């Protein structure tokens, strides 16, 4: 595995999460117990992306954010891990934390195709964010209520910005088209080029390119730790050829 280190966003309120040792173990590679510096059992973190064309979400020249998911190392997963932190006011939380630029970005690049953006963010936080043990409130010094919520969305956006799937595909001659089709191997090779040589899980809906899951393991905590590009735990459901990459209609 190659190291894919990512620094925290400078605009984030990240100062009070506990610092982890530089030699923190890599998730999914040891049997360490869960702690504020070891992600477990969800040590396989997925940055997931959408390509929505009907209805359209986000800009025509960009994939959009689905979420950041802490899957188990065998591909299974937990969901909705802490009902007491299943907040229903994500927008208000981010505004109160002064993360207005983050919120503006999310309203453009983290959109839902079947509910309000707020409802989508609430779902992603409650379903997946509450299962990331290294951002539990106990992992913060001088914890401020709901601080981990803003950190979760900040980090998800930070990861997404490093994985420009649209440009990676376009650089390989793979662009949205109503008539062209593409080979799975070409798509995977193009995307592996921005993920340290590891292809993401490529998901198709009726032979149409629809979602991408980029896999990481983690050293330290999920906010200022090191994300290490990892092998996917699932094989694509797409056909080997004839894959459609439809344009986003206006």
Q: pLDDT band at 216, cuts 50/70/90? A: very high
> What pLDDT is attached to residue 58?
98
Give me the residue label for tokens 């999460």: 17
Q: What are the chain's domains?
A: 3-244 (3.90.730.10)
User: CB of 217 within 8 A of CB of 72?
Assistant: no
User: CB of 223 within 8 A of CB of 151?
Assistant: yes
- Quick: pLDDT tens for 220-235: 999 999 999 999 999 9
> What pLDDT is attached to residue 9?
34
Instruction: Reply yes or no: is the peptide bond before residue 41 cis, omega within 30 of 0.
Output: yes
Mean pLDDT over residues 162-176, rounded?
99
Least reliable range by pLDDT among 114-118, 134-138, 139-143, 161-165: 139-143
Mean pLDDT over residues 1-12, rounded?
37
- Quick: pLDDT tens for 85-111: 999 999 999 999 999 999 999 999 999
> Is the confidence at residue 12, as pLDDT, over 50?
no
Catalytic residues: 66, 124, 128
- Sequence-distant (≥ 6) Cβ neighbours of residue 47 within 8 angstroms: 67, 68, 156, 159, 160, 163, 213, 214, 216
Q: pLDDT band at 84, cuts 50/70/90? A: very high
> What's the mean pLDDT when you consider all of the chain?
94
What is the percentage of the chain residues whose pLDDT exceeds 90? 91
User: CB of 245 within 8 A of CB of 209?
Assistant: yes
SS3 assignment, position 121: helix
> Is the confidence at residue 250, as pLDDT, over 90?
no
Separation of alpha carbons 81 and 27, rounded Å? 19
Least reliable range by pLDDT among 118-122, 132-136, 169-173, 246-250: 246-250
Extract the runs of DSSP E, i.e. beta strands, from 130-186.
181-182
- Quick: pLDDT tens for 27-77: 999 999 999 999 999 999 999 999 999 999 999 999 999 999 999 999 999
> What pLDDT is attached to residue 249?
83
Question: pLDDT higher for 170 or 15?
Answer: 170
> What pLDDT is attached to residue 16?
77
> What pLDDT is attached to residue 213?
99
Q: pLDDT band at 11, cuts 50/70/90? A: very low
């Amino acid at each position: 595995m190659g190291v894919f280190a990512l620094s925290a966003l400078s605009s984030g309120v990240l100062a009070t999460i506990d610092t982890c040792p530089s030699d923190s173990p890599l998730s999914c590679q040891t049997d360490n117990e869960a702690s504020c510096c070891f992600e477990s059992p969800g040590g396989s973190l997925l940055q997931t992306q959408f390509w929505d064309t009907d209805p359209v979400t986000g800009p025509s020249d960009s994939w959009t954010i689905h979420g950041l998911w802490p899957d188990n190392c065998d591909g299974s997963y937990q969901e909705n891990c802490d009902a007491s932190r299943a907040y229903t006011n994500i927008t208000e939380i981010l505004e109160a934390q002064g993360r207005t630029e983050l919120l503006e970005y999310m309203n453009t690049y983290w959109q839902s195709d079947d509910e309000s953006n707020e409802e989508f963010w609430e779902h992603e936080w409650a379903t997946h964010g509450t299962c990331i043990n290294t951002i539990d409130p106990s992992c913060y010094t001088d914890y401020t209520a709901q601080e981990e919520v803003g950190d979760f969305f900040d980090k998800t956006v930070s990861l997404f910005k490093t994985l420009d799937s649209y440009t990676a595909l376009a650089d390989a001659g793979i662009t949205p088209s109503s008539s062209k089709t593409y080979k799975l191997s070409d798509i995977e090779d193009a995307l592996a080029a921005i993920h340290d040589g590891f292809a993401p899980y490529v998901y198709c809906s009726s032979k149409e390119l629809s979602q991408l899951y980029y896999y990481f393991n983690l050293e330290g905590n999920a906010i200022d730790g090191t994300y290490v590009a990892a092998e996917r735990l699932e094989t694509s459901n797409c056909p080997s050829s004839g894959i459609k990459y439809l344009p986003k209609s206006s």
